Structure formats: C-alpha cells, structure tokens
C-alpha cells in the first residue's frame, strides 16, 4: 500500500475513534472494525446464543427499541433485511412524572455513527412502538425482536399488542424478570418500579411475561432461556428471561 494511502486509512480510523468518544456514553459494545470498539454499558456478544435467534437470511426483521443497534446489526450480518424502531427525542420516553428531565435532546446519533462505520443498510424509523402498525412500517415482519424495552414502558401490554399486529412469524422477547416475586408465580405478579431512578415501570415474573405475551395475541408462547445480563464492569447484573412465540399477523 503506498504511504499516502496508509496515512489516509490511519486518519480515517483515528477520526472514527474520536467521533465514538465524542458520543460517549454508549449503551452497546459494538465492534466497528479497524480495532474501534465502543465501551458500552452492556456487552451483549457473550449472550447472543441465549436469545435463540432463528435462521433469518432473506427475512424481514423488526428490532424494537434498537438504541445503538447491536441487535439490528447482528441480524443484518446474518442476512436479514432489518428495520429498527426507536424514539427520536428524550422527552418521548415514558418518564415517570417525577423523573422527567427538564431538557430535551435528540436520540439516535450513536446508531447513525455505527451504521455509517459498519456500512449497514438498516433502516431506523423514529416511531414509538405504541404507534407501530403494518401500514406505517410497510407490512408485517417474519421476526419481531424486542430486547429490554417493555420494562421501561408505562403500557407494556399496548406495546405487545402492537408487536402482535406486526408479527407474521416469530417473536423474540427478552426482558428483566422479578426474582423477588418468583416464589409467588401463581399470582402473576409484577413489581411496580415507577418510583425507582432507573426509569423502569414494571418488573413481572417470568411466568407473568409468558401470560402477557399470550394475552397480547401470540401463540406457542414458551420460555427459551434465562440468564444474568452483566454490566460491562462485571458488577451485578440484570436477570433476563427470553420468551419465544408465534405471531399470526398479515
Ligand atoms: C434498555 S434499551 C434496550 C436496547 C436493545 N433493545 C437491547 O436489547 O440491548 C431500551 C430502548 O428502548 C427504547 N424505547 C423506549 N421507549 C420506546 C418506545 N415507546 N418505542 C420504541 N422504543 C422505545 C429506548 O429509547 C432504548 O433505546
């Protein structure tokens, strides 16, 4: 490689590293190539097998609540045509009233930088799952993927109902579940956390999640796995259950 070409390449990598740092903090650890790795709050790479992704080559896939885009890019890498949904403004999040920040701001910059760095074609649509319909998103999907979103919603049942209306194949849902209420699974409980500083609303038990998914209209609802999703710094973690189900939309 001629020296000048090598210089340009090094400059581009250094430029990308700088842009990644400017957007700190990242939610996902993403390998953007050329040795550039985002320092995300969660590194999902060791957990991918726990989600039980099906064969998606040639399939139309929806990633709900994409954030920095880890799952959207992973599904695209496996051959899917991916649409991802997320909110465009901080104020659009379902804040409990006492936690709602006074300021607003845009969301999605980290996703856009990662998309550019990866040369990805994932289409990110700024739309709440509450408003997501087949008409708005160009028809139903073969796979609807939703990771760690519903605990942050005031109305997780409406979101699940919307997903049922969009899912013509499989649903993969991964959410935090309550260990504290696990011994009382027969009451279909959920912890109320609207007063916690984490902007979570509801932490159902694993059994309750299964009933909620079925209630929203999905069939063949089953627990695929459960695991403790660790923070990057390895301290603590969040217990997650992965639910698989079949949708009948379209
Ligand atoms: C905890 S992150 C999960 C990111 C990713 N899905 C994963 O599994 O790692 C939750 C994401 O859901 C998004 N979100 C919150 N409310 C939403 C809504 N009503 N519609 C769509 N996305 C939403 C947030 O903006 C955030 O990007």
* Ligand 1 first shell, C-beta below 6 A: 64-67, 70-71, 85-87, 93-94, 128-130, 147-149, 152-153
pTM above 0.85, yes or no: yes
| Res 5: pLDDT | 66
By C-alpha distance, which of 217, 218, 156 is closest to 190? 156
* Minimal-distance CA residue to ligand 1 atom 10: 149
pLDDT of residue 8: 80
Strands 238-246 and 219-229: antiparallel
Domain 44-246 fold is Rossmann fold (3.40.50)
- Digit-by-digit pLDDT tens for the chain (250 residues) are 555 667 787 788 999 999 999 999 999 999 999 999 999 999 999 999 999 999 999 999 999 999 999 999 999 999 999 999 999 999 999 999 989 999 999 999 999 999 999 999 999 999 999 999 999 999 999 999 999 999 999 999 999 999 999 999 999 999 999 999 988 878 899 999 999 887 899 999 999 999 999 999 999 999 999 999 998 877 789 999 999 999 999 8
Q: Taking each helix axis from N to C terminus, what angle separates 109-118 and 3-22, rounded to the nearest 10 degrees?
A: 160
What is the best residue among 61, 62, 67, 230 to mutate for testing ligand 1's pocket, by most ligand atoms within 8 Å of CB? 67
Q: Is residue 88 helix, strand or coil?
A: coil
Nearest CA, atom 3, ligand 1: 148
Per-residue model confidence (pLDDT) at position 236: 83
What pLDDT score was predicted for residue 232?
Answer: 84
Q: Would you say 157 and 216 are in contact if contact means Cβ atoms under 8 Å apart?
A: yes
Q: Around 138, how many Cα atoms within 13 Å sit in the side-chain half-sphere? A: 11
Q: How confident is the model at residue 245, as a pLDDT?
A: 98
- 71 Cα to the center of ligand 1, angstroms: 12
- C-alpha of residue 41 to centroid of ligand 1, in Å: 14
CA atoms of 149 and 206, how far apart (whole Å): 15
Tokens representing 246?
């079949």
How far is Cα 168 from Cα 247, in angstroms, rounded to an integer?
Answer: 5
Burial label, 66 (beta-carbon count in 10 A; 0-12, 13-18, 19+): buried
Q: Report the C-alpha gap between 223 and 176 in whole angstroms.
A: 13
Please report, for the chain, how many H helices and E strands are present, in that order. Answer: 6, 11
């Amino acid at each position: 490689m001629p020296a000048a070409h090598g210089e340009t390449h090094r400059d581009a990598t250094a430029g990308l590293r700088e842009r990644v740092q400017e957007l700190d903090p990242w939610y996902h650890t993403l390998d953007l190539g050329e040795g550039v790795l985002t320092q995300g709050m969660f590194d999902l790479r060791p957990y991918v097998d726990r989600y039980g992704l099906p064969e998606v080559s040639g399939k139309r896939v929806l990633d709900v609540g994409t954030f920095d885009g880890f799952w959207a890019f992973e599904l695209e890498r496996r051959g899917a045509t991916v649409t991802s949904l997320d909110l465009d403004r901080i104020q659009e999040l379902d804040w409990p009233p006492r936690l709602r920040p006074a300021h607003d701001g845009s969301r999605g910059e980290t996703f856009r930088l990662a998309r550019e760095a990866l040369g990805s074609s994932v289409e990110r649509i700024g739309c709440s799952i509450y408003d997501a319909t087949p008409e708005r998103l160009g028809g139903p999907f073969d796979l609807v993927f939703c990771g760690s979103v519903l605990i942050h919603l005031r109305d997780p049942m409406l979101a699940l109902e919307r997903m049922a209306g969009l899912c013509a194949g499989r649903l993969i849902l991964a959410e935090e579940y309550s260990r504290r209420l696990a011994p009382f699974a027969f009451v279909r409980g959920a912890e109320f956390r609207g007063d916690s500083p984490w902007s979570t609303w509801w932490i159902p038990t694993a059994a309750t999640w299964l009933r909620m998914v079925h209630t929203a209209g999905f069939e063949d609802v089953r627990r695929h796995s459960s695991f403790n999703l660790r923070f990057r710094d390895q301290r603590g973690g969040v217990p997650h259950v992965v639910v698989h189900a079949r949708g009948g939309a379209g």
